[in-house]
Chains A and B, each alone.
Chain A
Amino acid sequence: MNYELMIETFPKLLMGSYITIQLVTISLFIGLFLAVGLALLRLSSNSFLIFFAKTYIFYFRGTPLLVQIFLIYYGIGQFESVRESVFWVFFKEAYWCGILALTLNTCAYSSEIIRGGIQSVPLGQIESAKSTGMSRFLLYRRIILPIAFRQALPAYGNEMILMVKATSLVSTITIMDITGIARLVIAKTFSPVEIFIVAGLIYLTINFAVTRLVSFCEYKLTPHLRYNE
């Protein structure tokens, strides 16, 4: 075991973790908003909207993320019209393509989690909210969405961890995140085990922090379930 190399590589990989964390936060943040929208479409009574949401979710959950990333990064450039349009500023950058793919992907998975949360809201609570004359918007803002989020939080925590792992795939489109740098160093030094341990430890630390964060949120959101302080 080459400890010197491990110590030497550590700061390099930490630089990569900055990119990784950036990708995760941006795509989870935008993805969550889109996911709520998509879940509402999926639960609407318009059959066209339901079909759209179902197809979207089916496509993004049924294909590997790598295909989605490549389709956006390499695929879009096939069209002359895109290359000449203003969007090309966006699509020629691997970074933005990565974020777009990750966002669309997490949106599909999270929307199913949120849908489960919304459907688990007890009917009695919705009825009583209606009986006090709440408007549909108020009903969602005060009753349905807060309870749905609380119910969905544990499953959403899993999705967050999956996203941290998923960001490693953007290293295949030249983004230098932790995995990208790790691969570079492995190819240079040919000591896969050492680099694997260092990179793995950084990922495990990030994921540990995520699980702690989620259980803290869970604790804060369930004061009624605590026995005693």
Chain B
Amino acid sequence: MELELLALGDNGWGDEMLRATLVTLMVSLSAMGIGLFISIFGTISKLSKKKYVRILADTYTTVIRGIPELLVIYLLFFGGSNAVMGLAKLFGYYGYIELNAFVIGSFAVGAISGAYSTEVMRGAFLSVPIGQIDAAKSVGMSKLLIFIRITAPQVLRYALPGLGNVWQLTLKDTALIMVTGLVEIMRQAHVASGSTYSPFTFYVAAAFLYLILTTFSNRIFNRLESWGNRGVRRE
């Protein structure tokens, strides 16, 4: 292995790899954000009284969780620009719109992450004891107040471990965005190994960078969990 290939500065690919790591992190964060945003509506629809709303949400989570991530990314990569241009036409804009790889990647991975987050959030919502909500009603709390004071804080606590898993999945799924040409860790490793003929060195470096990201974020989630559980009595 030629470690000098990974040097920082002009002679090595170290700084490029680090910059790519930052891109991976940014894509993961925005995908997770989009996913969480989707999951709010997903959870509301899944728990809705209207049947067709429930069916819609169920279809979304089943389809996304049942087909490969790569296929979803290809759909948005090849079809995303057309869809946006179609939408723009409705509003009277007829120009050519090209979506940037970062945006496509974030939305593709976000849609995947959203399906998993929805399931986690739904489970967390259902684990809030119904007695507590009854008790809140009995003291005359409004629906909004019940949500803010009773449901939301507990849902967050119950959902944290599951969301930690979703984050790990999301982080690893961003590796697939390399097919759109966005220069994140995998793409950078691919480019670097292509021009130096040392693929092993660069893919090991990529693996190492992912391990750092997953381990580090795992720590953060563990911290958050123990912070979230600080008021819970242990038997």
Where the two chains meet, the residues of A that have a C-beta atom closer than 8 Å to any C-beta of B are: 58-59, 62-68, 70-71, 74-79, 161, 164-169, 171-172, 179, 182-183, 186-187, 190, 192-193, 196, 199-200, 203-204, 207-208
Contact = CB atoms under 8 A, between A and B. Distances in A.
Contact of B70 (A62, A78, A79, A168): A168
Contacts of B214: 62-63
Contacts of B84: none
12 contacts: A59-B207, A70-B199, A70-B203, A71-B204, A75-B203, A167-B68, A179-B70, A179-B74, A196-B75, A196-B79, A200-B71, A204-B66
A31 B37 CA distance: 37
Given A171-B70, A203-B68, A71 B207 contact: yes
A203 B77 CA distance: 20
A65 B214 CA distance: 14
A168 B201 CA distance: 25
Given A161-B66, A200-B63, A63 B210 contact: yes
A67 B71 contact: no
Given A67-B186, A75-B199, A204 B63 contact: yes
Contact of B207 (A67, A78, A183, A196): A67
Contacts, number: 116
B226 interface: no
Given A64-B210, A67-B203, A78-B200, A196 B71 contact: yes
**Which 10 pairs from chain A and chain B are nearest by CB?**
A168-B68, A64-B175, A75-B200, A192-B79, A192-B78, A74-B199, A78-B200, A64-B172, A71-B203, A165-B68
B66 A203 contact: yes
B66 A67 contact: no
A153 B45 CA distance: 30
Q: Is the interface of B mostly helix, strand, loop or mixed?
A: helix
A66 B204 contact: no
B54 interface: no
A165 B67 contact: yes
A167 B203 CA distance: 20
B71 to A, nearest CB: 6
Contact of A70 (B69, B71, B190, B198): B190
B175 A66 contact: yes
A199 B78 CA distance: 15
